């Protein structure tokens, strides 16, 4: 369809269909009558005069057509160029977004700069657990006093696990990823590491975390903690964390956990009774505020500031990304929202 024809169509749509109610038949007939031809004033006027109920508007419509034709003939009216997509500005010091299906990079900001990751570390913690051979998610783990003491001494986020309670691995994973429980992280590392002492088992588990990072080809990631409370060598990058999350999201169990807004665990007490825990609420507010959000994990800390690994699916397209070192919990969510919108628009 030529430029002249397109503009004629738009003008008549506004004059007759939207404000004054011409029939849909006119639209479809116009599309068939003149799909590719050049501008034709007489033909357009003849067509309109044949439409029932619009005779009183012919003069005004014809004037519009003739005027438009004159402008087109002079070359004064041209098609406006499409606006370029504006790259968003975020407060976070680092950011990365990619198409989860293709791995294509959609946005970068200091994407390969190593930074403290806070509790986004727990994505790898969960990934290691879920990759264990012959994993039984209903296996029970007894909560030790060491886990509780660790929470107190580090002023760490907690799933409020009770010493002596028996909690399933599945419940620990929810406690790890929703309220960001460092006690749950400790319990999982102690359970799935190898060794005769708790320290040895934790060290073994950290080895598994680093091996998985290496297996993914990540050269800017290292873990020295199971929960993000590092000892100077716990770091990653926006690009690497996004790749870790993308890999973790291949697990149906992981996907189910990280998209859950609230979860209530029922644990077994020392006496064998059932304890109904207070609900664990997901710290990822995008699950409620962003249409299509499917995960994955928040993080924060004195050095890490405010971090978020995020993902959403719309119309069959999944966009996944990371922001590190944002300025507040509210701003990190805003940063992620901007990047998701940008990712879907590209």
For the question of residue 119 being annotated catalytic, the response is yes
The bridge status of strand 166-168 relative to strand 140-142 is: antiparallel
Residue range 40-45: mean pLDDT, rounded:
39
Q: What are phi and psi of 327, to 5 degrees?
A: -95, -15
Positive or negative CA dihedral for 205, 206, 209, 214? negative
Residue range 158-174: mean pLDDT, rounded:
99
Q: What is the dihedral of CA 178, 179, 182, 186, to 10 degrees?
A: -40
Q: Do you find a cis peptide bond into 296, omega within 30 degrees of 0?
A: yes
Q: 10 Å Cβ neighbour count for 110?
A: 17
pLDDT surpasses 60 at 28:
no
Is 297 within any annotated ligand binding site? Answer: yes
Positive or negative CA dihedral for 71, 76, 82, 87? negative
Collapse the DSSP code of 259 into the 3-class scheme (helix H, G, I; strand E, B; otherwise coil) and give the result.
Answer: coil
| Alpha-carbon gap, residue 65 to 302, rounded angstroms | 66
Percent residues over pLDDT 90 in the chain: 76
Residue range 46-53: mean pLDDT, rounded:
40
| Alpha-carbon gap, residue 214 to 211, rounded angstroms | 5
Q: Which residue has the higher pLDDT, 50 or 258?
A: 258
Collapse the DSSP code of 159 into the 3-class scheme (helix H, G, I; strand E, B; otherwise coil) and give the result.
Answer: coil
Give the model's pLDDT for residue 155.
96
Residue range 87-101: mean pLDDT, rounded:
98
Active-site choice (116, 157, 158, 180): 180
| Contact (Cβ atoms closer than 8 angstroms) between residue 318 and residue 99 | yes
For the question of residue 148 being annotated catalytic, the response is no
- Residue 131 CA to chain centroid, in angstroms? 23
| Contact (Cβ atoms closer than 8 angstroms) between residue 166 and residue 268 | yes
Tokens of 136: 């039984």
Residue range 120-139: mean pLDDT, rounded:
98
DSSP 278-331: PPEEPS-THHHHSTTEEEEEEEEETTTEEEEEEEEEETTEEEEEEEEEESSHHH
Give the model's pLDDT for residue 194.
98
Residue range 42-57: mean pLDDT, rounded:
40
The helices-and-strands tally (H runs, E runs) of the chain is 13, 11
Secondary structure E strands in the chain: 94-99, 105-109, 140-142, 166-168, 262-263, 266-268, 274-276, 280-281, 293-301, 305-314, 317-326
pLDDT surpasses 90 at 267:
yes
pLDDT surpasses 60 at 74:
no
Q: In what order do the strands lie in the sheet with 317-326?
A: 105-109, 94-99, 317-326, 305-314, 293-301
CATH architecture of the domain formed by 94-345: 3-Layer(aba) Sandwich (3.40)
- What confidence tier does 53 reach under pLDDT thresholds 50, 70, 90? very low
Give the model's pLDDT for residue 34.
40
pLDDT surpasses 80 at 5:
no
Give the model's pLDDT for residue 80.
54
| Alpha-carbon gap, residue 236 to 325, rounded angstroms | 12
Give the model's pLDDT for residue 84.
84
pLDDT surpasses 80 at 63:
no
**Per-residue model confidence as pLDDT tens digits over 204-222:** 999 999 999 999 999 999 9
Q: 10 Å Cβ neighbour count for 6?
A: 11
Give the model's pLDDT for residue 82.
56
Q: Which residue has the higher pLDDT, 9 or 249?
A: 249
Mean per-residue pLDDT over the chain, rounded:
85
- Residue 307 CA to chain centroid, in angstroms? 13
pLDDT surpasses 70 at 176:
yes
| Contact (Cβ atoms closer than 8 angstroms) between residue 342 and residue 97 | yes
Look-up of token digits 């975020």: 90
């Amino acid at each position: 369809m030529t430029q002249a024809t397109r503009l004629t169509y738009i003008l008549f749509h506004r004059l007759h269909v939207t404000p004054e109610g011409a029939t849909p038949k006119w639209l479809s007939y116009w599309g068939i009558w003149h799909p590719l031809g050049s501008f034709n004033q007489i033909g357009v006027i003849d067509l309109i005069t044949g439409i029932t109920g619009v005779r009183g508007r012919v003069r005004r419509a014809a004037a519009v057509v003739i005027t438009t034709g004159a402008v087109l003939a002079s070359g004064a009216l041209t098609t406006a160029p499409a606006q370029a997509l504006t790259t968003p500005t975020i407060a976070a010091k680092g950011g990365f977004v990619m198409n989860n299906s293709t791995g294509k990079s959609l946005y970068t900001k200091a994407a390969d700069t190593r930074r403290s990751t806070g509790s986004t570390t727990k994505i790898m913690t969960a990934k290691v657990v879920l990759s264990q051979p012959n994993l039984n998610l209903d296996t029970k783990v007894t909560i030790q006093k060491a886990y509780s003491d660790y929470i107190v001494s580090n002023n760490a986020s907690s799933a409020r696990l009770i010493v002596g309670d028996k909690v399933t691995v599945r419940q620990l994973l929810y406690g790890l990823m929703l309220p960001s429980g460092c006690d749950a992280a400790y319990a999982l590392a102690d359970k799935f590491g190898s060794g005769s002492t708790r320290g040895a088992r934790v060290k073994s588990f950290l080895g598994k975390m680093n091996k998985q990072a290496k297996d993914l080809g990540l050269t800017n990631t290292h873990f020295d903690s199971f929960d993000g409370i590092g000892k100077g060598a716990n770091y990653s990058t926006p690009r690497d964390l996004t790749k870790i999350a993308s890999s973790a999201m291949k697990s149906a169990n992981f996907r189910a956990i990280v998209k859950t807004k609230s979860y209530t665990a029922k644990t077994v007490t020392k006496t064998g009774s059932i304890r109904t825990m207070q609900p664990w609420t997901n710290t990822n507010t995008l699950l409620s505020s962003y249409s299509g959000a499917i995960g994955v994990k928040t993080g924060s800390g004195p050095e890490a500031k405010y971090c978020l690994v995020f993902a959403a699916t719309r119309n069959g397209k999944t966009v996944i990304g990371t922001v590190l070192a944002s300025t507040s919990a509210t701003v990190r969510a805003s940063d992620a929202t901007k990047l998701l919108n940008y990712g879907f628009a590209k």
